[in-house]
A and B are shown apart, each in its own frame.
Chain A
Amino acid sequence: MPDKPRLTREQIAARTAKELPDGAYVNLGWGIPNLIADYLPPGLTVFFHSENGILGMGRRAKLGEEDYDLVDAMKVPVTLTPGASFFHQADAHLMTRGGHLDVAVLGGFQVSEKGDLANWKVPGARGSGGIGGAMDIAAGAKVLIVCMEHTTKDGAPKIVKQCTYPLTALACVDTIVTDLAVIDVRAEGLLLRETASGWTKKEIQELTGAPLL
């Protein structure tokens, strides 16, 4: 594996933020996606949906400002933006499943060349695992972006021909943003749209388990 700098988690988040259209309703999942709110390009307005029942969620609460009835889906105290609203859980997921969100950004363990996503359970992991809102969100978002490291800690590709981890949803991913590349899932295959600074297509292909167009 070439020993060259890759994007940090924060840089992946900042790069993904540039994919969000102005005025979009957006859900951010756990992990790297949750960092995106801090890296919105100046002038861009987006409305964050939190699956516990908030539309128009603002920044995280500062010390002393916390109200534990106002938390995000990760239990972190947050704030509201003007015009925010609350609704119950069935409506929160009606928004995810029913195609109302413009963009959802989720973390991933594996993405296949067909855009299948596995992101909720590592095979052989101890304990019960947990699905949360991932399956509803993956099935329903108009555009689904997955943010993740390009390879596992052991260097194995996370972009694969076929997912071997338990699936979250079939053919749901539109774009993958990793620490090495931005890749679009197209009917004809995986289109390498952008490479990280200093990386060649050949080097990235060697770390990818499916052909790149």
Chain B
Amino acid sequence: MKQKIFPSLDAAVADVPDGARIMFGGFGGAGFPNNLIQALARKGTKNITAISNNCGTRDGELGLMFKNGQISHVIASFPGPHANYFQECFAAKEVTLELVPQGILCERMRAAAAGILGFYTSVGVETEVAAGKEERIIDNQRCILESPIHADYACIKAEKADALGNLTYRLAARNFNPIMAMAAKTTIVEVEEIVPVGTIESENVVTPAIFVHRIVQAKGIRYAG
């Protein structure tokens, strides 16, 4: 059986090519795969499309990769008040941005995960996010057509994994991570701890192993707001 546990962060991202579409978990400083982000910064992958709620906290989270000029397109809901490197790249037109309402961002990823090719929603009707989208009326409500968001990789953060790839998350650090794990072709998770198979109670598994392809142990890093 193929081993999912990788010996190092660098090994876990070694094959990520230039131009990759990558989802990054995290919200409000919690649940960001900061060690994997640093590994991608060391590797120097360029021309990345990043899919994430936020665009970094100064040097932290995705900030480092904007500072390094590694990201060329972002799909995000709230770049954030301390995303200064993103804002510099955006102002210089080195990065393009698709702003998506937060819930629609996860629902579009969930659609990709679930084999759903599109869905109609009333969220965003008559706003900037409706531009170029098909509009129709269902049940007397105006709604717009939203499409799935796919990715080549998801870089996520969990608390514990077993060798099969079953995951648990700590407190509100769960956020986008389980959705991204399901949506990407290859899911890479950094975890605080790898535990023996069978020690995570089956009924407590949040992300089932089928969605996880690479596991690497690393002490989590947080960046203050």
**Contacts from A to B (Cβ < 8 Å):** 50-54, 67-76, 86-90, 92-94, 96-97, 121, 126-136, 139-140, 166-170
**Interface pairs A-B: 8 shortest CB-CB:** A93-B103, A136-B103, A135-B101, A130-B78, A132-B78, A69-B171, A90-B106, A75-B225
> B100-125 vs A: 1/0 string, CB under 8 Å?
11111011011000000000011111
Asked whether A53 lies within 8 Å of B124 as measured between CB atoms, the reply is no
Asked whether A53 lies within 8 Å of B174 as measured between CB atoms, the reply is yes
Q: Which residues does chain A contribute within 8 Å of B169, judged by CB atoms?
A: 86
Enumerate 20 A-B pairs (CB-CB under 8 Å) in ascending A order: A67-B171, A68-B29, A71-B172, A72-B28, A76-B225, A90-B103, A90-B106, A90-B109, A90-B110, A93-B103, A121-B128, A128-B79, A128-B87, A133-B102, A135-B103, A135-B127, A135-B129, A166-B127, A168-B127, A169-B123
CB of B176 closer than 8 Å to a CB of A: yes
Name the one of A68, A73, A97, A131 contacting B99, with C-beta atoms under 8 angstroms.
A131
Give the total number of A-B pairs whose CB atoms are below 8 A apart: 144
Q: Which residues does chain B contribute within 8 Å of A88, judged by CB atoms?
A: 106, 174-179, 206
- The docked-state distance in angstroms from the alpha carbon of A135 to that of B177 is 22
Asked whether B28 lies within 8 Å of A89 as measured between CB atoms, the reply is no
**Contacts from B to A (Cβ < 8 Å):** 27-31, 53, 55, 76-80, 86-87, 90-91, 97, 99-104, 106-107, 109-110, 121-129, 142, 169-179, 206, 222, 225
Q: Which residues does chain A contribute within 8 Å of B177, judged by CB atoms?
A: 88
